[in-house]
Amino acid sequence: MIANAAPCVAVRNLIVRIDGDTILDSASFVAPRHAITMLLGDGAAGTSTAIKAIAGLERARDGTIEVDGRDVTKLKAGRRNVAVVFEGHALFPHMTVFENVAYPLRVAKLDRAAIEARVTEVARLLDFASVLDRRPRDVPEGLKRRAGLARAVVREPAVYLFDRALSGLDDDLRGAAREVIGFLRERFNATIIMPSSDGAEAMRLADWLVVMAKGRVLQEGGGTALRAAPASLDIAARIAVPSLVLRDGGIVAIEPEGIVVQAGDGPKFLLNFAPGEAEIGERVALAVAQAALKPGGWGAVSPEALLLFDSDGVAFARR
């Protein structure tokens, strides 16, 4: 794990059911402290439900959720020391923009000078300082959304939870959200958890990646480690940046040094993978990142760049 530290958030065997459907099915993962953790999966993966369960907005039927080493599974949302950054935080219409952003800090009983400094800093970063003294009805929509984001992130909880993937936001709000993430990292060294359905986005932003499908966690780890040793072809395809190039092949020999694989009727490769229960003649799939394909084609591919999967899509483990 990152920096050999205890995780900021630990989800263990979490089960969440909504209207009789199991949305999270014994899901377990961690979010390292001071890192961006991306939950990668499609709309049916349960990533948003996992965010809401950590926040206390969805009830866990079973399993546990720990935040900073404290079991918060049965605590109300307001007592979990987390901040949820919704897609569009509505502002209180009777308050000025400054009062809106300052509200969670007043609830936390910070002194006036600290509140003014914090609100001013965030407003300057997100470029809405010019409207701090206005009421929301007098503020352009784009600046209102930035102020709403600011109100969500202005305090310093244990973890910030984003409830939407950046890829699902319009350009203005996506830009504001990225600025907020950068601010949280630079200013507060924050712990952030957010969903994504975009493998390229996840690999670009994440320090820690949790790959999910159908309510289950398929694999988690640092992006580089997952790219080098994905557990399955499905995971490899989700996180490949750029896309993978696949070729059918077969095992032609098993040597002390590894497995000898032939790509179709083309070149042979001695791969440093553990054979496990592999047999000579077994059909396999070879995969390589598109960028690793040189003008010489498969014959010029380095064996170290190849991934190997059995006929069920399960990865062979590197030695």
Spatial distance between the Cα atoms of 261 and 280, rounded to a whole number of angstroms:
9
Say if CB 195 and CB 51 are below 8 A apart.
Answer: yes
Q: Rounded to an integer, what distance in angstroms lies between the CA atom of residue 86 and that of residue 156?
A: 16
Give the C-alpha separation, 75 to 81, whole Å. 10
Position with higher pLDDT, 161 vs 178? 161
- Give 30-56 as a DSSP string: EE-TTSEEEEE--TTS-HHHHHHHHHT
Predicted confidence at residue 167, as pLDDT, reads 59
Residue 176 has pLDDT above 80, yes or no: no
Max mean pLDDT range (71-75, 148-152, 176-180, 224-228): 71-75
pLDDT value of position 87:
61
Q: Return the percentage of the chain with pLDDT > 70, whole number.
A: 92
Per-residue model confidence as pLDDT tens digits over 35-83: 999 999 998 999 999 999 999 999 999 999 999 999 999 999 888 999 8
Place of tokens 């509200």: 103
Cα–Cα distance measured from residue 275 to residue 1, given in angstroms and rounded to the nearest whole number:
27
Distance from C-alpha of 153 to C-alpha of 168, rounded to nearest angstrom: 20
Helices 112-125 and 171-188 cross at an angle (nearest 10°) of: 130
How high is the pLDDT of residue 169? 61
Residue 179: the pLDDT is 73
| pLDDT tens, position by position, 219-232 | 999 988 998 899 99
Per DSSP, the three-state class of 207 is coil
Among 182-191, 194-203, 287-296, top mean pLDDT goes to 194-203
Strand, coil or helix: what is 282?
A: coil
Helix (H) or strand (E) holding 216: strand 216-221
Check residues 47 and 148 and name the one with the higher pLDDT: 47
Per-residue pLDDT of 102-127, as tens digits, reads 998 998 889 999 999 999 988 998 88
Contact 89, 177 (CB under 8 A): no
Higher pLDDT, 198 or 316: 316
User: Where is average pLDDT lowest: 94-98, 149-153, 177-181, 243-247?
Assistant: 177-181
DSSP sequence for 62-93: EEEEEETTEE-TTS-GGGS-EEEE-TTPPPPT
Q: Residue 3 — pLDDT band, cuts 50, 70, 90?
A: very low
Q: 145, exposed or middle or buried, with CB in 10 Å at 0-12, 13-18, 19+?
A: buried
Amino acid of residue 200:
A
User: How far is 92 from 106, CA to CA, in rounded Å?
Assistant: 15
**Amino acid 58: pLDDT:** 95
CB 128 within 8 A of CB 97: yes
What is the average pLDDT score of the chain? Answer: 89
Rounded distance between C-alpha atoms, residue 86 and residue 172, angstroms: 15
Q: 63-72, 177-186, 200-209, 305-314: which has the minimum mean pLDDT?
A: 177-186
Q: In the predicted model, is pLDDT for residue 128 greater than 50?
A: yes
What one-letter code names the amino acid at 41? G
Phi–psi pair at 188, nearest 5 degrees? -115, -5
Tell me the pLDDT band of 269, cut-offs 50, 70 and 90.
Answer: very high
Structural domains for the chain: 2-225 (3.40.50.300), 242-309 (2.40.50.100)
